[in-house]
Amino acid sequence: MKNFMNRERIIALVCLAFAAYIWIVAGTFPASFLDSVGPAKYPRLLASLIGITAVILFATSNGPVKPIKGKREFRSLAYILLCIMIYLLIFTRIGFILSTIAFLLALTLYFDHRELKTRLKIAVPYAVCFSVFLYFFFAKLLGVLLPSIVL
């Protein structure tokens, strides 16, 4: 059973489910007398292409599948995703400069494995200078409306 439902076949089933989702949702689009082709046919064509390819993938994925090589740093991945989400949440609330300084410090202090004192010596000036430079470059020179500074 483990060999039958290998990784590739699970991927094929996910693709098939995705194709089915597109097909079903496209069926809910209202037709218009202005357009003889309609808004649903093209997404359904794409769903069919994904579905057919997924079926072929399922049928041709026999036997054991090679495991994916390399390290797996689940904790680091979860940490970076969490940091990014917090950064984007506080970005508009506390302003660009403060949020970016906090984000850069959170990343550099975690991923740099040197002594804390050495890390701080480099990370703090880097985070402050890079954030301030980016703010002035984007907001003042290019006119991008970055969330203003809150101090």
Partner 1 sequence: MQLFIQGLGQAFQPVSMLYILAGVIWGIIGGAIPGISASVAMSLLLPFTYGMDPLYSLPMLAAVYVGAEYGGSIPAILIKTPGTGAAAATVLDGYEMNRKGLGGKALCMSLYAGVLGGLISIFILVFTVIPLSQFALKFGPTEYFWMAIMGLSVVGAVSGNSPMKGFISAVFGLFLAVIGMDSFTAVKRFTFGINRLSEGLEMIPVLVGMFAVSEVLRQIFGGEVFESVKNKFKMTYPTRKEFMQCTPIVIACGAMGSIVGALPGAGATIASWIGYSETKMICKNTETFGTGDIRGVAAPESANNGVPAGGLIPLLALGIPGSNSTAILMAGFTIAGISCGPMLFVNEPEIPYKLMACMFVAQIILAAVGLLILKPLIKLTSVSKVYLTSAILVFAFVGAFATLNDVFASWMVLLFGFIGFLMKRYGFAPPAAVLGFVLGELVENNMRRALQLSHGSMSVFFSSTIDWVLIVLTIFGVCFPYITKFISKKRAERTAAKEA
Q: Quick one: which of 66, 44, 73, 54 has its CA closest to 16? A: 54
What residue type is assigned to position 96 of the chain?
A: F
Site string for partner 1, 59-98 (x = CB under 8 A): -x-------x-xxxxx-xx--xx--xx-xx--xx---x--
Question: Residue 6: which residues within 8 A CB-CB, separation 6 or more?
Answer: 61, 63, 64, 65
What DSSP designation does 32 have?
B
Which residue in 38, 86, 94, 98 binds partner 1 (CB under 8 A)? 38
- Report whether 90 contacts 103 (CB < 8 A): no
> Looking at 13, 50, 86, 102, which residue binds partner 1 (CB under 8 A)?
50
**Cα angle value 144/145/148 (rounded, 5°):** 130
Residues 102-131 that bind partner 1 (CB under 8 A): 103-104, 107-108, 111-113, 122, 126, 130-131
Binding site for partner 1 (CB under 8 A): 7, 11, 15, 22, 25-26, 29-30, 32, 34-39, 42-43, 46, 49-50, 53-54, 56-57, 60, 68, 70-74, 76-77, 80-81, 84-85, 87-88, 91-92, 96, 100, 103-104, 107-108, 111-113, 122, 126, 130-131, 134, 138, 142-146
